[in-house]
Structure 1
């Protein structure tokens, strides 16, 4: 199965189109790049193995030896410590705990020792480290250790507050202070810690007693004014009650509000009664004044049940009936009729009198209702006046009561604290406590622990690891600073061009090559022929390089000889007119040659030379040197000349100068089908190759690939075998 050729970069174009197979897909390219990166790391490690090993060994020996030397010079140090509880539970705090427990807050009870601390620990630690306290210690220690000073003592003394994690994982301070001391003599450490603990305890006792005395004196000065304040407020409240005849303004206010409510209800009822009485009086007036008795009988409900007016009406009706009856049988002048008429007249007068009385009675009801309304209004006004007056009294009473409560609360607190301080002063016990007595740090065997001891094995292992990292870093730094192409993978990664062939390092000189080199040139020639298979035939090829000394002339010569040996009619042209080499390699005369052909219309056959070792190979040497090569290659005869050479030979190979900074190589390449770039491994730099490829972007010549020169034989054999296997 034939192997597909590698891809060409976008710069390999001929008239806008590449005559050779396109690049492979992106996924395959990414995979190759990953392999190349790993291969580059391995290659750098191999190339710089000796440098890396030297750095590792040197660093390990130097640092390890220095560490061992310093370890022998360093004296072992020992450390001891003790811990102090600097805020023990006092009677005052017990009262606070009892108050908190009564409120049912368990969390506050747990944190009361910390959150209610009034001690400035930073200042306290500075006091404990001050010469004022430590001078007494130094005077005691000097009797046994005369060399002790405040500077040496404070240098090895460390005092800190112990912290812990709270329930919410936050660091918080405790009421414990830890004191540590280091020295090369464990007995000295224990002696100093014993003395120091006693000094701190005695200091705390004196400080505590002094603080308690100052607290008691302060409270004694505050209690009398507080008592006077309480008495004064109580007297003011009593005078206020007596003045306004109230016991509780709040209760009095509620009663007045209830009275206002009742008066409003009575006022409404009175208004209704007054309206009813006025309506009844008006109805009676209309009914009784100038009304016929029969009309009055029709509106009897206005008069009330069993009223005197009703009796008179009944009598009047009876007399009226008798008159009607007697009038039918007696004359008007009859005494009986006259008597009845007189009686009716008397009844009419009585009815009018009774009607006036009834109206007066209804009017009296109105008068009573109006008088009652006036009384209700007066009571309401008096009650509102009391309410307005009571609001000011209530405000004054509340202010006095609030001030009294605050004064009583302050008085009680001061009295309780006075009692607590008196109890603490009477106890005569040390306020600071040793939770951990002075002791040395011991190891698992019970011996004093060396705090400055370091595991030699671990430290030497760490030095070795750091030395390895330093060695690897130095190796890669040196390799990167040189920035040379060492392997074929470096070439692929830098150029992104197909690798046409890998030529091994040849120990022989000139035309004698080793067997691996012959196989490499055969593989190169075969690859070039495969490129033109089923595509545009490869008739001419420019061989160039990025730098001088990359071996392009030797590769051009051996490629031409190999192609000729494989049956092609090949012409090798030495176009490196500045430094020609082909005539030296073949031991041929330099003149006449290529420059003569460019300057005049000479016969091509007369200028060609044939090496005796290869009959199918013709050579056109450089010829006479020219002063203006650019003008020589831009003459009108150049293009017809190159076309004629293409028709005369199967393959024309041009050996040109390095491409950078020279224009004649590009002019020659512009007349050829393709160009191959020679890179010498371990010598050609990456920036030169990249600059060459950048310059080739302005050329219309297709770059068919790269030829890696001076490679190890294993690399060339692998590349040659890979292509031969693909061919088969």
Structure 2
């Protein structure tokens, strides 16, 4: 009885050794293959706010101009076309000067490597199962060398902020040009309304006491009231545009870009401060290798028993 038990135990040990050996061999081969095919990479990111959180006031002021008769339609200078903006940020024209800065530390780094590792997207906020776009752009770079990834992100952040300053200058210049073309039109309308009202008052002696109560002049009195209201609105619009022009001049003098880095370039770290590699297929494939090894080991033992 004991002899039979020992024999079965030796047989079981043999099976376990076979399974362990095959599983180890397959897992090692999978590990080597996966490591070569999918080397560790690191991904850092930063977040840019590319327009002021509140721009409605100036938008309303610009749009107010186009509602005035004899003015040209206003263009939308206050809102960012994010799809176009992201294309610009990824364009060789904008990446080229940043690449020159990167090459001071990594001379062989190419534009193709830069574009391949760079990912730019507009962030969206999820609220009550509804996705709404934000004014934040997320910029990521992924590569094998964490020091290089950090260096590239730092230079990219600097380049994008400088671009943002120049873009704001150009945008302010367009706004100033539009306002300057509209001011003479608005002034002309104010002068025209003032002249018409003055002519009406002088012709019908509307400044005389109780003249508006006379039954002979109801239509003329209404016209005078309408001109007065139009003149008031025209004066208010003209003053608003003058104030807008002063604001634009102040912004241009301050020379501050509206772009802000709200989350600086960084590679994520764990609780102990170690850099966290970017996700890749290696973990899944390693698990698959272990499962395959176990399956092959178990299958081999079954075949050995049948011989």
**TM-score, shorter chain, exceeding 0.5:** yes
Residue 231 of structure 2 corresponds to 404
**Alignment length (residue pairs):** 254
Q: Structure 1 residues 245, 436: closer, same or farther in 2, change over 3 A? A: same
Does residue 390 of the first structure (1) align with residue 222 of the second (2)?
no
Q: Structure 1 residues 457, 426: closer, same or farther in 2, change over 3 A? A: closer
Residue 82 of structure 1 corresponds to 46
User: Conserved in 2, the CA contact under 8 Å of 1:162 and 1:175?
Assistant: yes
Does residue 232 of the first structure (1) align with residue 180 of the second (2)?
no
Residue 192 of structure 1 corresponds to 152
CA deviations over 1:19-57 (Å, ceiling 9, x no partner)? xxxxxxxxxxxxxxxxxxxxxxxxxxxxxxxxxxxxxxx
Match of 1:68 among 17, 24, 31: 31
Residue 437 of structure 1 corresponds to 264
State the alpha-carbon separation in 1 of the partners of residues 26 and 198 from structure 2.
92
Q: Structure 1 residues 461, 139: closer, same or farther in 2, change over 3 A? A: closer
- Partner of 2:121: helix, strand, or coil? strand
State the alpha-carbon separation in 2 of the partners of residues 419 and 408 from structure 1.
17
**1:178 positional shift:** 1.2
Q: Structure 1 residues 409, 213: closer, same or farther in 2, change over 3 A? A: same
- Partner of 1:143: helix, strand, or coil? coil
Q: Structure 1 residues 229, 117: closer, same or farther in 2, change over 3 A? A: closer
Q: Structure 1 residues 118, 247: closer, same or farther in 2, change over 3 A? A: farther
User: Conserved in 2, the CA contact under 8 Å of 1:84 and 1:178?
Assistant: yes
Q: Structure 1 residues 405, 462: closer, same or farther in 2, change over 3 A? A: farther
Residue 276 of structure 2 corresponds to 449
State the alpha-carbon separation in 2 of the partners of residues 439 and 156 from structure 1.
15
Q: Structure 1 residues 244, 142: closer, same or farther in 2, change over 3 A? A: same
Does residue 215 of the first structure (1) align with residue 175 of the second (2)?
yes
**1:219 positional shift:** 1.8
Match of 2:166 among 185, 198, 206: 206
State the alpha-carbon separation in 2 of the partners of residues 221 and 463 from structure 1.
73
Alignment of 1:89-104 (within 5 A): none
Residue 255 of structure 2 corresponds to 428
State the alpha-carbon separation in 2 of the partners of residues 422 and 462 from structure 1.
66
- Partner of 1:177: helix, strand, or coil? strand
Residue 153 of structure 1 corresponds to 114
- Partner of 1:178: helix, strand, or coil? strand
User: Conserved in 1, the CA contact under 8 Å of 2:164 and 2:258?
Assistant: yes
User: Conserved in 1, the CA contact under 8 Å of 2:34 and 2:286?
Assistant: no
- Partner of 2:80: helix, strand, or coil? coil
**1:457 positional shift:** 7.8
State the alpha-carbon separation in 2 of the partners of residues 123 and 215 from structure 1.
20
State the alpha-carbon separation in 1 of the partners of residues 283 and 53 from structure 2.
48
TM superposition score normalised by structure 1: 0.32
Alignment of 1:98-177 (within 5 A): 118-166=79-127, 169-177=129-137
Q: Structure 1 residues 67, 394: closer, same or farther in 2, change over 3 A? A: farther
User: Conserved in 2, the CA contact under 8 Å of 1:88 and 1:433?
Assistant: no
Q: Structure 1 residues 456, 213: closer, same or farther in 2, change over 3 A? A: closer
Q: Structure 1 residues 456, 134: closer, same or farther in 2, change over 3 A? A: closer
State the alpha-carbon separation in 2 of the partners of residues 403 and 442 from structure 1.
64
State the alpha-carbon separation in 2 of the partners of residues 117 and 77 from structure 1.
39
User: Conserved in 1, the CA contact under 8 Å of 2:35 and 2:282?
Assistant: no
Q: Structure 1 residues 205, 194: closer, same or farther in 2, change over 3 A? A: same
- Partner of 2:152: helix, strand, or coil? helix
Does residue 242 of the first structure (1) align with residue 69 of the second (2)?
no
CA deviations over 1:134-158 (Å, ceiling 9, x no partner)? 0112222223323322222111101
User: Conserved in 2, the CA contact under 8 Å of 1:227 and 1:411?
Assistant: yes
Identify unmatched segments of 5+ residues in structure 1.
1-59, 98-115, 257-382, 469-728
State the alpha-carbon separation in 1 of the partners of residues 25 and 224 from structure 2.
91
Q: Structure 1 residues 65, 409: closer, same or farther in 2, change over 3 A? A: farther
User: Conserved in 1, the CA contact under 8 Å of 2:27 and 2:289?
Assistant: no
State the alpha-carbon separation in 2 of the partners of residues 62 and 412 from structure 1.
83
Q: Structure 1 residues 65, 222: closer, same or farther in 2, change over 3 A? A: same
State the alpha-carbon separation in 1 of the partners of residues 229 and 222 from structure 2.
10
**1:398 positional shift:** 5.1
State the alpha-carbon separation in 2 of the partners of residues 117 and 209 from structure 1.
13
TM superposition score normalised by structure 2: 0.70
CA deviations over 1:249-290 (Å, ceiling 9, x no partner)? x993xx45xxxxxxxxxxxxxxxxxxxxxxxxxxxxxxxxxx
State the alpha-carbon separation in 2 of the partners of residues 455 and 176 from structure 1.
32
State the alpha-carbon separation in 1 of the partners of residues 29 and 193 from structure 2.
84
Q: Structure 1 residues 240, 452: closer, same or farther in 2, change over 3 A? A: same
Q: Structure 1 residues 396, 186: closer, same or farther in 2, change over 3 A? A: same
Q: Structure 1 residues 455, 431: closer, same or farther in 2, change over 3 A? A: same
